[in-house]
Chain A
Amino acid sequence: ILNVEQSPQSLHVQEGDSTNFTCSFPSSNFYALHWYRWETAKSPEALFVMTLNGDEKKKGRISATLNTKEGYSYLYIKGSQPEDSATYLCAPRGLSNTGKLIFGQGTTLQVKP
């Protein structure tokens, strides 16, 4: 899998705003899609692993959807809080058995109190 694109590259919102990001990837050779949150000075933290077309996952105020046929995933944050400030990375996995992840460049979210 090549050409993983995330948009926007960065985002500044006010506390309480809802926001969403996009991850686009080639739909061929798809196996799974991972979303990670990476806060400054911490480890990237897994949010979701999604595999099936139409999958929708939720963790608290964060949810994600997956469309494998057209090659995109959306991440939504409802009622953003300052602690949501981080870089959000998506990483599709191809059909190889290695578990290797190909990351997009990330969307950096800054939530202002």
Chain B
Amino acid sequence: DTGVSQDPRHKITKRGQNVTFRCDPISEHNRLYWYRQTLGQGPEFLTYFQNEAQLEKSRLLSDRFSAERPKGSFSTLEIQRTEQGDSAMYLCASSSQGLVDTEAFFGQGTRLTVV
């Protein structure tokens, strides 16, 4: 499969625990995005990488959230000291930099439940 893959698909954690999610983008894509989707809402932008550089972070991304893309390939999103409000679907997307009509390709997401 050459699409965007995310791991794990589901994560249940206790409040206060740390969690880490992984995203493997399409190999030739240099752009990588993280989004968060909660019930009844569309996905909200969290952060953007071009290669290994994190170039934009949403104000939604509190200091408990950190994302990395160490070698410009896979990315991780870590949430420290999880809260119930962090329960959501976390989506990763990748795209190539180029024409105006470039599509972003999404993974299936990681559904986080904080109990």
Contacts and interface: CB of A to CB of B under 8 A. Distances in A.
Contact of B48 (A34, A45, A49, A100): A100
A64 to B, nearest CB: 13
Contacts, number: 64
Nearest to A36: B106
Nearest to A47: B103
B29 to A, nearest CB: 10
Contacts of B56: 98, 100
Contact of B3 (A36, A43, A49): A43
A98 B31 CA distance: 8
A42 B109 CA distance: 8
Contacts of A42: 108
B42 interface: yes
Interface string B46-80: 00101000011000000000000000000000000
28 contacts: A32-B100, A34-B103, A41-B108, A42-B108, A43-B107, A43-B108, A44-B43, A44-B91, A45-B106, A46-B104, A49-B101, A51-B101, A89-B42, A89-B43, A91-B42, A98-B31, A98-B50, A99-B33, A99-B48, A99-B104, A100-B33, A101-B33, A101-B104, A102-B45, A103-B42, A103-B43, A104-B42, A105-B41
- Those 4 A-B pairs whose CB atoms lie nearest each other, nearest first: A103-B42, A49-B101, A46-B103, A44-B106
